[in-house]
Amino acid sequence: MEQKEYTDELRLLEDDFASLARLSAQESFEDIRLLLAKLIRKYRTRRPEFAERINLALRSSQTRSAGASILRRGMQLESKDQGMPVDADSRMSLIRVFDDRAGLPPPLLSPELLKQIQGIVRERKERAKLAAHGVRPTRSAILVGPPGVGKSLSARWLASQIGKPLWVLDLTTVMSSLLGKTGNNLRAVFDHAKANEAVLLLDEIDSIAKRRSDESDVGELKRLVTAILQEVDAWPDTGLLLAATNHPELVDPALWRRFDAILTFEMSDPATISLAVRRFLGGDAQRFEPVLELLAASLRGNSLSDVERAVTSLRRRAVLEGTDPSQIVLDMATQHVELLDKPSRLNLAIELARSKALSHNKIQSLTGVARDTIRKYTGPSPIIGRGGRKGA
């Protein structure tokens, strides 16, 4: 080994030893095992004998760390005035609270999905009736779908319908580089939610409940996943446990069997987009009425959160610039054409023709839809085109 390579290798070993010493001084035993597992992978190729010695030491220390005990070891987290659980080190709350009991409009969902959620609400309200027949209500549900389709909003509405605030545990913020602290954080939240019969949402569950066959994860984290699955399986029917994921392919298959219900969210259809546009326009809906369907057509294929963002931006322009809403929508529609698929482009071309803002010739140039096709749906163009002829 050349001198430079030897020096670099020695520096890496020194850094790793310093990290190990720091964790030992802090008595962070879970994190020591996590670091050792990383070192095994790191040195398996360059120093196989060294890696195997670490591996043997790690195996001998894991006999006491199986099952749900990983969530219980270490110092218990404190709570502010017996309120929400907080991290003992940062003093930051582990839960975000959304209290919508004063009222929240129903989410814009497909009729089938909305019926599923309403069914869960009815079960909670008539729990005594179910109990009289020996039937338990839905205790847990996982919300699956791409970002921006209404998962979190639906959870908030569900909680509001059964008269409770929604407690949200964002697992990406609770996860600590010190694995033992992550276990403590989760245990504190779970215990507090059960004691208060809460509606608890585990947001981005895929960030922690990954497939246990994932070779990139170490044994401690896999045992943490097992413990979470046990919590879901034993959740009391006095509360309601929800989870949300944008990446179902990453979630451990056992998780699907643990949840009582799977709520699948999909991108909104054109009718829902139109309803969303009208809702997000609020008090400005009447001003935008002549071009409302044109606006909806230009936003097809977007998530509801993207639709809300676009509509809010248009409202700002209309207020601050004093521009005609029709012109604002027309500008946006022409800018979004390239993002639309073929059916959506046809729909946009039809709405552009009906708005009478552009000639058929200009609409064809923008959307790629033939003038004959546009004429088939809307009749001749009322705008005089080239050559002084209508319908151009």
Q: What is the predicted pLDDT for the residue at 164?
A: 92
Per this entry, what is the length of the chain? 392
Q: Is 235 exposed, middle or buried (0-12, 13-18, 19+ CB in 10 A)?
A: buried
Q: What is the predicted pLDDT for the residue at 30?
A: 57
Q: What is the predicted pLDDT for the residue at 210?
A: 60
* Gap between the terminal Cα atoms of the chain: 79
Q: In whole angstroms, what is the distance from residue 260 CA to residue 256 CA?
A: 8
Q: What is the predicted pLDDT for the residue at 48?
A: 78
Q: In whole angstroms, what is the distance from residue 9 CA to residue 13 CA?
A: 6
Among candidates 58, 18, 23, which has minimal Cα distance to 10? 18
Q: What is the predicted pLDDT for the residue at 209?
A: 64
Per DSSP, the three-state class of 169 is: strand
Handedness of CA 207, 213, 219, 224 (dihedral sign): positive
Contact in structure between 260 and 240 (CB atoms under 8 Å): no
Contacts of 307 (CB under 8 A, 6+ apart): 268, 273, 276, 277, 280, 299
Q: In whole angstroms, what is the distance from residue 367 CA to residue 343 CA?
A: 11
Q: What is the predicted pLDDT for the residue at 33?
A: 67
**Structure token digits, residue 198:** 């809460």
Q: What is the predicted pLDDT for the residue at 220?
A: 56
Q: How many CB atoms lie within 10 A of CB 278?
A: 16
Distance, C-alpha 95 to centroid of its chain: 16
Q: What is the DSSP string of 3-38?
A: HHHHHHHHHHHHHHHHHHHHHHHTT-HHHHHHHHHH
Q: Which domains does the chain have, with CATH numbers?
A: 3-63 (no CATH), 75-264 (3.40.50.300), 270-388 (no CATH)
Contacts of 159 (CB under 8 A, 6+ apart): 98, 100, 165, 166, 199, 240
Among candidates 183, 267, 263, 260, which has minimal Cα distance to 226? 183
Among candidates 213, 239, 247, 212, which has minimal Cα distance to 228? 212
Q: In whole angstroms, what is the distance from residue 129 CA to residue 141 CA?
A: 21
Among candidates 281, 280, 270, 332, which has minimal Cα distance to 305? 280
Per DSSP, the three-state class of 47 is: coil
pTM for the structure as a whole:
0.68
Among candidates 146, 279, 361, which has minimal Cα distance to 295? 279
Over its C-alpha atoms, the chain yields an Rg (Å, rounded) of 28
| Average pLDDT for runs of 10 along the chain of length 392 | 64 76 64 71 76 69 41 39 64 84 90 94 92 91 92 95 89 58 77 89 78 51 73 86 89 83 92 92 88 87 90 89 82 78 82 80 83 84 56 50
Distance, C-alpha 325 to centroid of its chain: 33
